[in-house]
Amino acid sequence: MNTFLKGFHLVALAIFLGSIPGHILLGAMGDPARDLEGFAVLMQAKQMNVQWLTVPGLVITLLSGLTLMVRRGIKPTRNRWLAAKLALVVLVALNGALILGPLSREMATMAQHAVQAGALPSAFATLEGREAIFGAVNLAMILTIIGLVVAKPALRRANGPSAGIPQ
């Protein structure tokens, strides 16, 4: 069962991480000054990417990872790197749920309304700026999580490479 769950966890992680470059690319492709309708479609596609890939991938990754920990009897209190990883995962999820997800919805809605109005409101640039900042923060946390998982720093220093956690 743990092998299946680990595979499931890795597939969910691949979906979550794989959705990020698509999100960035969709945001960079459009030019509202040349094609406002096309831009609105891209913003809607970006929102759908968040709704159907990023969020489910993150939620399933989080739940399957916690389930693996419980099934294996792994305690974050005994592994500082794991406690740090879990704290960062929670921060990534909160940033996504409370800031980036709503921003994506608001940007898609604003772009759709702009088609009818004939131009994007100046507030759209503010939303793009916020998305760039909070997206970069999430990406930095995700890269830190990957670094922790690969290095398992305190674990290797204190107890050797296989102390209690299957590689």
How would you write the pLDDT of the chain (167 residues) with one tens digit per residue? 889 999 999 999 999 999 999 999 999 999 999 999 999 999 999 999 999 999 999 999 999 999 999 999 999 988 889 999 999 999 999 999 999 999 999 999 999 999 999 999 999 999 999 999 999 999 999 999 999 999 987 555 555 554 455 44
Residue with the two structure tokens 């040349």: 34
Contact between 107 and 49 (Cβ < 8 Å): no
Radius of gyration for the alpha carbons in the chain, expressed in angstroms and rounded? 19
How far is 123 from 21, CA to CA, in rounded Å?
25
